[in-house]
Structures are given as structure tokens and as C-alpha cells.
Amino acid sequence: MAMRQDASTGQLVDDGRAAPKTGGQLVDGKPVMHLKIYSPFRVYFDETAFSISAENATGPFDILPRHHKFLSLLNPCELRVVSPSGEKRIRISGGLMHVQSDKVKVFLDV
């Protein structure tokens, strides 16, 4: 079973297809990605996460594990990170997000 995020509700739903064989990690049966949020002088988050929510010029968006490659400038917003250790919110004045192969990097203050 492969999961996808419904664009209108944001809920995870079964798409009826076999799950892709990506070799990704699972925590509590859910796929995770490695997320690092940092600036030149401070690391704000560096661990696995279930999702990250942010905002760019086109509006709010979410990144989940197995997301396609993605690069975006971020608007001033509050990043919302959901991880196995709980939810964390980080207010930012802008940044750059790079998503590649279940790894997400958010560069702040650049």
C-alpha cells in the first residue's frame, strides 16, 4: 500500500498501489525523512521528521517523505515540523529549502 497526501484535505490516504521500494526508514510504521534546519551560526533541528510545513511565494505547502526533488525560496513564516519527538514550530524571516532523496535542508539567514 502506498500513501499519498490528499491536496484538498492534507490527510494521508491509501492510493491503492504498491508502495515504492525506496529503502526509506520507518518510525512507528510511518515513513520519515532526515530534516536539518540551520543558519551559519546555529542548528535549529537535525533529526528525522514525518513532515515539514512552510510558505513560499505561491502559498503554504507541506513536504512529506518520498517527495520529489524540490528547491524553493521561503517567505517569512512559521515552519511546522512534525517528528517522532513531537511538534516544533520555528519562526523564520526567510530561507531556502532543498529536498532530495528523503533529505530536506532548510538554510536560514543566507
Could you give the CA distance from residue 4 to residue 67 in angstroms, rounded to a whole number? Answer: 10
Of 74, 71, 72, the residue nearest 95 (C-alpha): 74
Output the DSSP codes for 62-87. Answer: EE-TTPPPEEEEE-SEEEEEEETTEE
Name the CATH superfamily for 24-108. F0F1 ATP synthase delta/epsilon subunit, N-terminal (2.60.15.10)
Whether 50 contacts 81, CB under 8 Å? no
Q: What is the pLDDT of residue 91?
A: 97
pLDDT tens-digit series, residues 61-90:
999 998 999 999 999 999 999 999 999 999
Q: What is the pLDDT of residue 20?
A: 47
- Domain boundaries, given as residue ranges, for the chain: 24-108
Helices and strands per DSSP (H, E), number in the chain: 0, 13
